Amino acid sequence: MCYKNEYQKRAHGEVERIFRELLPEVGLHVREEQIRLCHEMLDALMKNEITLCDAGVGIGKTYAYLTACILMRKYSVLHSGYSGCDRRPVVVSTSSIALQKAIIEEYVPFLSDVLLKADLLQGELKAVVRKGKEHFVCDYRLAQRLEAVRDKNKNQAQMEALKSLRHNFDLDSVHNLSGFDRRLVCVPKFCPRECPGKAGCRYQKYLDVSKKEEVFIQICNHNYLLADAMHRMNEYRPLLADYRALVVDEAHKLPEAASQMDGRSIGREDVQEISYFLNREHKSSEGKRLQDWFNTLSMEIRKDQAGMGDDIAGKEISIFRQSADLLWSR
């Protein structure tokens, strides 16, 4: 492999040491595919390039990209002379809560400990999980809710869950919390400027900690990443701090997340309802055409799912376009 400068060469040399010496010493196996993956990602990160990596299950891709990100920052900072630009965080976007939890509780602490003991890091590796405000407790609203149910005959398990929020800030970490209570005590979409609990607000403290320079890895799900992108596109305040690099784990699930966030679905009952209103507006022929188009599309999809149909993408587009034209013409 050809390196442009001494820092790239040293960074790639540390990849070899980490995966062939340090990690095997603490019980991990040497995986050649994992090492190649880390080299490829490190190379792309240090060159500010985009790379797409297809990694099989069980090769240890999480350790590969975390190591690549750590070495990218370490040697970029050394090369640039500690410029602020190179000390920006890395964002890791995942598709599951389980992987987020594993990264923050297992992967990062383990890798940090190994690298610190080998003197490859100067300080502890810090990470934070970034989630929407509806996942966190508003202390002011919690106090109001506790006061409201104080003398009520509330389910004991739910009551204990509610009380535990005095010490547990993350709503996702509390069991037996009812959906109704969760909605009443979470951080509201818009916080009032003169909130009585502003001074000791745990949510604001969480945001302040998340923005600190020493918090290197920002972990979020695909929906949060896309929401941040929408904020930036519409010139709103970004949800995430300005980041140096982005790792999208299980990127094949990103389109599905985008569809869930900004897409619309329509079913048979919806079509029937639209046809009903068209009939009321004396547009029965349009209503029948809409139902016919929907039935045709449904049949094609079922055929395709059974492995009997051809590529129906063009038919889908044609049918939906005609349906949309019909609806918008009203």
pLDDT, residue 321, reads: 43
Mean pLDDT of 227-256: 91
Percent of the chain with pLDDT over 70: 88
| Sheet arrangement for strand 245-248 | 126-129, 215-221, 90-94, 245-248
Distance from CA of residue 198 to its chain's centroid?
27
Single pTM value for the model: 0.75
Q: Of all helices (H) and strands (E), which one includes residue 210?
A: helix 202-210
Across the chain, mean pLDDT equals 84
Spell out the residues 6+ positions from residue 128 whose beta carbon is closer than 8 angstroms to its own.
104, 209, 210, 215, 217, 218, 219
Spell out the residues 6+ positions from residue 191 whose beta carbon is closer than 8 angstroms to its own.
138
- Which of 186, 203, 225 is a domain's end point? 186
User: Is residue 242 in a domain?
Assistant: no
pLDDT score of 199 more than 90: no
Best-predicted range by mean pLDDT among 90-94, 270-274, 308-312?
90-94
SS3 66: helix
Mean pLDDT of 174-200: 89
User: Is residue 100 in a domain?
Assistant: no
Please give the backbone phi and psi of residue 210, each rounded to the nearest 5 degrees, phi first. Answer: -60, -30
pLDDT, residue 247, reads: 96
pLDDT, residue 309, reads: 45
Total domains present in the chain: 3
Q: Is 18 exposed, middle or buried (0-12, 13-18, 19+ CB in 10 A)?
A: buried
Residues forming a β-bridge with 129: 219
Contact status, residue 87 vs residue 213, Cβ threshold 8 Å: yes
User: Is residue 312 in a domain?
Assistant: yes
Give the domain range for residue 323: 268-328
Q: Which residue has the higher pLDDT, 82 or 295?
A: 295
Q: Which residue has the higher pLDDT, 103 or 277?
A: 103
pLDDT, residue 100, reads: 92
SS3 265: coil
Distance from CA of residue 119 to its chain's centroid?
31
User: Is residue 81 in a domain?
Assistant: yes
User: Is residue 156 in a domain?
Assistant: yes
Q: Which residue has the higher pLDDT, 236 or 326?
A: 236
CA atoms within 13 A on the CB side of 155: 9
Confidence band, pLDDT 50/70/90 cuts, at residue 282: confident
Mean pLDDT of 19-37: 96
Mean pLDDT of 7-29: 94
pLDDT, residue 93, reads: 96
User: Is residue 209 in a domain?
Assistant: no
How far apart are the C-alpha atoms of 53 and 69, rounded to whole Å? Answer: 15
Mean pLDDT of 15-36: 96
- Which of 24, 52, 87 is a domain's end point? 87
Domain identity same for 81 and 145: no
pLDDT, residue 293, reads: 82
How far apart are the C-alpha atoms of 158 and 17, rounded to whole Å? Answer: 51
Contact status, residue 160 vs residue 146, Cβ threshold 8 Å: no
Spell out the residues 6+ positions from residue 206 whose beta carbon is closer than 8 angstroms to its own.
136, 169
Confidence band, pLDDT 50/70/90 cuts, at residue 82: very low
How far apart are the C-alpha atoms of 186 and 257, rounded to whole Å? Answer: 23
Mean pLDDT of 242-249: 93
User: Is residue 68 in a domain?
Assistant: yes
Domain identity same for 80 and 4: yes
Lowest mean pLDDT among 31-45, 53-67, 282-296: 282-296
C-beta atoms surrounding 112 within 10 Å: 19
User: Is residue 67 in a domain?
Assistant: yes
- Which of 168, 186, 204 is a domain's end point? 186
